[in-house]
Amino acid sequence: MKPNDNSWVLITGASSGFGEEFARQYAAQGKSLVLVARRLDKLETLSAQLRERFSVDVIVEQVDLSSIPAVIELHQRLRERNVVIDVLINNAGHGLQGPFLDQPLDQSLAMIDLDIASLTALTHVFAADMRARKRGHILMVASLLSFQGVKNFAVYSAAKAYVLRFSDALHRELKSDGVIVTALCPGMSDTGFAQSARQTITPALKMVMMQPQPVVAAGIRALQAGRISVVPGFGNKAMTVLTWATPRRFHQGLMARIMGA
């Protein structure tokens, strides 16, 4: 395949979960895709399905996004191929449940590398291109946990708080340059994240768990509408209102119980 100079959607963490669903929904819109993740076999399987079903161009990039040099090299490769990224979906992320001091330090630092440092680097290099063109869209996948510190999710909730506040600031910084930045703050969703994070699924979480399709659709709609952020799901919206309306000792204790902490 020889990429042309039309606009592309770059999706990180595209091999599963929200990333895979973003790929399917954008492919259904006829968008050309750049799928980025570490698991090459899953990316290639997904890309073959999308090409066959939707007749879209798909580029597969196997990248360890926890490496900043790898992020810079990805950006350079795409520029050399004249692939113009109009939509950046910063979806790649990692989380673990458990007491902070019981987690190996290298795992906590790896989470920061992927959830914060890599996202920041990706945003910097691709947003600079967008600003130069006076056009672009960036969706930051944060979390419902970004609104508060949560027991046994100390690093993850803090990392997602960075994503949300970083997105909020860039929404205002880049708007006048024609670049839209939106934060998607999903609650518990059936993406496989809980298993990889070794998270306890409480009865309360089962009640509010959402499927990936409506969460991703809400994120795409919010980005296209130029919104600053979106929280999908009535129960999740109610939790954000509770967070704003109650003292921290109350809503943080409640969230700890809901999250099985």
Judge whether 205 lies within some domain. Answer: yes
CA distance 190 to 109: 26
Residues in the chain: 261
CA distance 247 to 94: 29
Give tens-digit pLDDT for 39-54: 999 999 999 999 999 9
Q: For all residues of the chain together, what is the average pLDDT?
A: 89
Judge whether 53 lies within some domain. Answer: yes
156 has catalytic annotation: yes
More confidently predicted of 182 and 239: 182
What's the structural domain count of the chain? 1
Buried b (16+ CB within 10 A) or exposed e, 42-60: bbeebbeebeeebebbbbb
Nearest in space to 144 (alpha carbons), one of 220, 236, 211: 236
pLDDT value, residue 3: 43
CA distance 162 to 213: 25
Could you give phi then psi for residue 155, rounded to 5 degrees?
Answer: -75, -40
pLDDT value, residue 241: 85
CA distance 259 to 148: 13
- Residue 121: both structure tokens together: 């680097």
Q: Tell me, what CATH number does 134's domain have?
A: 3.40.50.720
The amino acid at 231: V
Q: Which of 18, 153, 156, 193 is catalytic?
A: 156
Judge whether 3 lies within some domain. Answer: no
Give tens-digit pLDDT for 200-238: 555 555 556 678 999 999 999 999 999 999 999 888 888
User: Across-strand partners of 34?
Assistant: 10, 59
Domain span at residue 131 reads 8-259
Judge whether 150 lies within some domain. Answer: yes
Judge whether 224 lies within some domain. Answer: yes
pLDDT value, residue 238: 82
Judge whether 1 lies within some domain. Answer: no
Q: Which of 118-127, 196-205, 250-259 has the lowest mean pLDDT?
A: 196-205
More confidently predicted of 209 and 161: 161
Judge whether 15 lies within some domain. Answer: yes
User: What pTM did the predictor assign?
Assistant: 0.88
